Amino acid sequence: MQKWADNRAWFLILPVFLVVAFSAIIPLMTVVNYSVQDILGPGMSVFVGSEWYKEVLHNPRLHDALFRQLTFSFCVLAIEIPLGVGVALTLPRKKGVWASTCLVLLALPLLIPWNVVGTIWVMFSRPDIGLAGVTLNEIFHFPYNYTADPLHSWLTVLVMDVWHWTPLIVLLGYAGLQAIPEAYYQAAKIDGASRFAVFRYIQLPKMRGVLLIALLLRFMDSFMIYTEPFVLTGGGPGNSTTFLSQFLTRLAVGQFDVGPAAAFSLIYFLIVLLFCFVFYTTIVNLGKGEAQ
């Protein structure tokens, strides 16, 4: 669509700018301020330049947390996107009570407060009172204990995230599938296209746009995951489920190391920004390609 060129449109944007600036720029500037100072007490601070950045960048525990975070985000995307697409394909194509019920059930985990998601999984997987925990231990005689074994703990967090967020991919994929006209399927049928060919040449290209949005949203959210592992495992045992947000919160609120925490915040933000810029540019350019 051809847009009108008019700089007065800034007046329409102004309220948003003010609100977001109030809750984003002022705090962000505070972070920048903290990150270059050593705050010894109220009203006592020393300018230290890039010292905190150097310290944080050389912190091996940060490297571990970053590596853990990247592995986690990668696993989340690798499981959730194919699974979500798969489930979206099994949803009934025609609208009706059954389709609506499925959608409502699917969306349910998305609207549960994040710490309640953690609580649900604590109750579900505890080896003494949880359904999954007891079943694995008593019936399959598998010594499952997510509070003691780092691997079990990590996998529990992963399964929880899959449970929590796959529905988002399903809903996005379903929205993409709904936009395909029935005529496409009929044409494919006449051509005698196989089920796979229909998926590969009709459904997948139509879902590409929404799947990119899904990728962007999922990457963003998995990269700042905090509440669910905090409630489920508290970052442990050891540091096995300490992801970046958890690490940062511990640094800032737990130990009150404001300077390093601020420096780390900015690095963290820049990492997220970099990835998101790539995804965002891809989405925008893709939209342009389709319009032409």
Partner 1 sequence: MRMKKRTVALLCYLIFLLLPIYWLVNMSFKTTDEILSVFNLLPENFTWANYAMIFTDPSWYTGYINSMKYVALNTIISLTVALPAAYGFSRYNFLGDKHMFFWLLTNKMAPPAVFLLPFFNFYQTVGLFDTSIAVALAHCLFNVPLAVWILEGFMSGVPKEIDETAFIDGYSFPRFFTTIFIPLIRAGIGVTAFFCFMFSWVELLLARTLTAVNAKPIAATMTRTVSASGMDWGGLAAAGVLTMIPGAIVIWFVRNYMAKGFALGRV
Strand partners, 41: 44
Q: How far is the CB of 140 from partner 1 (least distance, A)?
A: 15
Look up residue 55 and give its amino acid: E
The phi-psi region of residue 35 (left if phi > 0; otherwise alpha if psi is between -120 and 50; otherwise beta) is alpha
Site residues for partner 1, 14-33, by CB under 8 A, read 15-20, 22-24, 26-28, 30-31
If DSSP states are collapsed to H, E and C, what string results for 10-75?
A: HHHHHHHHHHHHHHHHHHHHHHHHHHCEEEEECCEEEECCCHHHHHHHCCHHHHHHHHHHHHHHHH
Q: Could you tell me if 227 and 119 are in contact, meaning their C-beta atoms sit under 8 angstroms apart?
A: no
Residue from 81, 85, 168, 215 in contact with partner 1 (CB under 8 A): 168
Contact string 47-86 vs partner 1 (x = CB under 8 A) = ---------------------------------------x
Is residue 278 at the binding interface for partner 1, with CB under 8 A as the rule?
no
Q: Could you tell me if 87 and 166 are in contact, meaning their C-beta atoms sit under 8 angstroms apart?
A: yes
Is residue 87 at the binding interface for partner 1, with CB under 8 A as the rule?
yes
If DSSP states are collapsed to H, E and C, what string results for 107-159?
A: HHHHHCCHHHHHHHHHHHHCCCCCHHHHHHHHHCCCCCCCCCCHHHHHHHHHH
Q: How far is the CB of 268 from partner 1 (least distance, A)?
A: 6
Instruction: Find the length of the chain.
Output: 292
Look up residue 76 and give its amino acid: V
Residue from 39, 75, 77, 102 in contact with partner 1 (CB under 8 A): 102
Residue from 40, 44, 58, 90 in contact with partner 1 (CB under 8 A): 90
Residue from 39, 48, 75, 119 in contact with partner 1 (CB under 8 A): 119
Q: How far is the CB of 197 from partner 1 (least distance, A)?
A: 15
Residue from 75, 79, 155, 224 in contact with partner 1 (CB under 8 A): 224
Is residue 36 at the binding interface for partner 1, with CB under 8 A as the rule?
no
Q: How far is the CB of 55 from partner 1 (least distance, A)?
A: 17
Residue from 39, 79, 134, 193 in contact with partner 1 (CB under 8 A): 134
Residue from 150, 158, 163, 239 in contact with partner 1 (CB under 8 A): 163
